[in-house]
Chains A and B, each alone.
Chain A
Amino acid sequence: MNRALLSVLAATPIALAIAGCGSDATNDHLLNQGGGFATDPDSLAGGVGGTFEHQAASVGPDNGVTDPGVKKVEDQTVGSPEVVARMHGTQKLPYATLGSVLADLGVNVQAQQGAGGLYKSGTSSLGVPNYANRVPEQLVPSTSSLAKQFDIFTAAAPEVVANIAMSKRCPAVVLVMNNQFTPEGISCLLGKPARPEHVTLANQLVTEATTPQLGIQIAVAALLSAAHTSE
């Protein structure tokens, strides 16, 4: 329903723009007279299988939905096109990579509940590809994908805390000693060297939580979310 409504709303300005270009608002060439293929060979309207569906194609799943005007405005806040091109962007982790990162940290991604369940059931919001419809994996972060990743990392934290020392990625690494995070443990979570500030803030969360154990889990969830919602 929502999708149909969005399609109508998206198509309306285009249709109005096309109609507005001609002096004859009832130009038959602009009408698709029966769905599917246009009956008039000169028609510029098209159906699902119509060759003439140029306008729809430009904003459909084949070409994404990036608005050139919006993109230009956004880029200008960063700098010239050259500046923008030379800066790292932010994309989310691909679905498979997210699974590997979790599994390597000791999370059972095959589980029906917890982080594994969220991961397995989150394929749509995490933007997995739909090759049958020529849609590649969606790596541009969306609200739903970011929220889903956050939920997954939050649910994964207890497993990571419990299993990291036995994990594939960081065997024998001590994540927390005497309720204090170790730099090595945080580096393992982040995939890059932990900075002193990482350790300080993580330990602050431990101190301020209701219980140290809960604080540790919150800190792990926060570290994973901050580090890995973007590739």
Chain B
Amino acid sequence: MELSTKEKTMRSGAVRGVALLAALGVSGVLIACSTDDGTSLGGGATGGGTGSPVPAMTAPPAPTAGGGGTTGPGSGGDPHAGDNPNIAQREINYGEALRTASLKLVGALPSLADIQSLASAGTGTFAKAAYEQKIDALLADPRFAQMQITWWRNTLKTGGGGMPSFDTAAVFAASVVIGDRPYTDLFTATSNTCPTFANGTFTPASCGSTVTAGILTDPGLMAQYYSNMAFRRARFVQETFVCTKFPAEYSKTPVPMGSSLYTSPWDFTTITGGATAKINFQDTSAVICANCHTTMNHIAPLFGHFDAKGVYDPQKISVMTPITPPTTTTMADWLPAGQGLAWRNGTPITDLPSLGTAMAADPDIARCAVNRVWDWAFSRGDIVNDLATIPSVVTDDLTKDFTTNGMKMKRLIRNVFTSDDFVRF
């Protein structure tokens, strides 16, 4: 599309204008709130405001002298983090924090009335309380539900209608958040895991499958991640809910093998291999396949019962083994006879509900949820795709609060958006 002459003239001037205002933005960040927001450096307490619909953390992280907040010297992380000028020079700016929070939580800028009331709320604890009330209002806003659906679509990398619906997993996950249900319901819910959303309302609905384990049995999700031997589904679960790529498990005593090290804690022979196997997962000639596949092959068979359209058949494996010509996968293609399924080495499972139960009990699942929310709030990109990893010390307190208070995502989101780090720019 061609710009008009007028627009081109404006664009030329706007370039200079942006440069000026961008410089102002930078300087504004550096000197923020010394007068505008007028708040003192209150540290990291995140106590709840009066009447908050979402309880705050009961064990707020201790403030630190270095302007740190959630973590800092002596907390087990980078002992010099608080001295880093990028950290030390941040100052509390509730106006800036409300803007980015509002965009993320309801997809719109805060109203002028909210901006002005927050700016006139005073300083210190008064400003903090006013800001927290705004966050609570955003979490109670009907638009938050739609934004959560969108967030889950992007997290799950699926969306849209069709048959099966590619939207029900995201809608169900959002309904868990909005309904203040435990995060673990994503893996353990036994009914109504294919809801719809219209006019601000979630309508429960069954997926129609003979087995239900949260979104792990969502037809759209299974169709979205259909692949040979169901490995894409296993990888999806790993990367989305554990926040790391495979390998997922590491032995304390790696063993030299082939051209590299065998690092898995599983016995090497617990997966299919050898000269007669359709696919030799025990191959070590170039890479150690078993480093990843000892975990993957103990999970993937459960997902192998969903076909390309996400239809579940407990009696039949519906994925293919990629040989020439491709053949329907058999259990022996994944695991040798007598080898049981498992979420992790030492955590046996028998079916999809038990997989969900095992995942729900895995502390890595909880930490991953916390880290995903943190990265979203801080505009850091995806923890796996964009390598936006987080040292555990940064989110330890949040994770502890999350796991000891019912794993409620809304509470977690509130804690992150009101955390000391979040309101500092």
Contact = CB atoms under 8 A, between A and B. Distances in A.
Given A37-B326, A89-B378, A97-B103, A82 B109 contact: no
B315 interface: no
Contacts of B345: none
Nearest to A112: B1
Interface string A83-120: 10111111101101100110010000000010001100
Interface residues of chain A: helix, strand, loop or mixed (majority) = helix
B130 to A, nearest CB: 13
Interface residues of B, number: 98
Nearest to B21: A226
A157 interface: yes
Contacts of B119: 193
Interface string A56-81: 00000001101010010000001111
**Best-surrounded residue of A21, A91, A215 (most CB of chain B within 10 A):** A91
Interface stretch (B23-31, B188-196, B400-408): B23-31
A207 interface: no
B48 interface: no
A199 B247 CA distance: 54
A217 B380 CA distance: 32
Contact of A134 (B25, B69, B224): B224
B227 interface: yes
B131 interface: no
B31 to A, nearest CB: 9
A82 B157 contact: no
A94 B376 CA distance: 12
A154 B5 CA distance: 12
A21 to B, nearest CB: 6
Contacts of B166: 131
A126 interface: no
A64 B246 CA distance: 16
Contacts of A179: none
Nearest to B386: A66
Interface string B199-237: 000000000000000000000000011011101000000
Contact of B286 (A30, A46, A219): A30
B350 interface: no
A59 B387 CA distance: 12
Contacts of B24: 195, 197-198, 201, 226
Contact of A41 (B28, B153, B279): B279
Nearest to B394: A85
Nearest to B380: A89
Interface residues of A, number: 93
A176 interface: no
B379 A101 contact: no
Interface string B377-400: 011111011111111011000000
B379 A88 contact: yes
Contact of A226 (B22, B245, B285, B384): B22
Contact of A88 (B11, B37, B378): B378
B143 to A, nearest CB: 9
**Best-surrounded residue of B17, B27, B81, B98 (most CB of chain A within 10 A):** B17
Contacts of B11: 150-151, 154, 221
Contacts of B159: 129, 131
Given A197-B24, A221-B10, A88 B394 contact: no
B20 interface: yes
A201 B382 contact: no
Contact of A154 (B14, B104, B283, B379): B14
Nearest to B286: A44
Nearest to B157: A134
B286 A88 contact: no
Contact of A192 (B90, B96, B150, B387): B96
A145 interface: no
B107 interface: yes
Contacts of B280: 41-42
Given A88-B379, A90-B379, A157-B10, A222 B20 contact: yes
Nearest to B96: A192
Interface string B138-157: 00000000000010011101
Interface of B: 1, 3, 6-7, 9-11, 13-14, 16-18, 20-22, 24-25, 27-28, 36-37, 68-71, 77-78, 80-81, 84, 86-87, 90, 95-96, 98-100, 102-104, 107-112, 115-116, 119, 150, 153-155, 157-160, 166, 224-225, 227-229, 231, 245, 259, 277-280, 283, 285-287, 322-324, 326, 374, 378-382, 384-391, 393-394, 421-422, 425
Interface of A: 18, 21-22, 29-30, 37-39, 41-42, 44, 46, 49-52, 54, 63-64, 66, 68, 71, 78-83, 85-91, 93-94, 96-97, 100-101, 104, 113, 117-118, 121, 129, 131-132, 134-137, 139-140, 150-151, 153-155, 157-158, 169-170, 173, 184, 187-188, 190-193, 195, 197-198, 201-202, 204-205, 209, 214-215, 217-219, 221-223, 225-227, 230-231
30 contacts: A18-B286, A29-B285, A41-B277, A41-B280, A51-B227, A64-B382, A80-B81, A85-B374, A85-B389, A85-B391, A88-B100, A89-B380, A89-B381, A91-B381, A97-B107, A100-B107, A101-B103, A104-B109, A117-B1, A131-B153, A139-B379, A190-B99, A192-B95, A193-B119, A205-B13, A221-B13, A222-B20, A225-B17, A226-B17, A226-B24
Given A51-B229, A187-B112, 12 more contacts: A46-B322, A81-B78, A82-B393, A87-B378, A113-B1, A131-B157, A131-B158, A134-B225, A169-B109, A205-B17, A221-B13, A225-B17
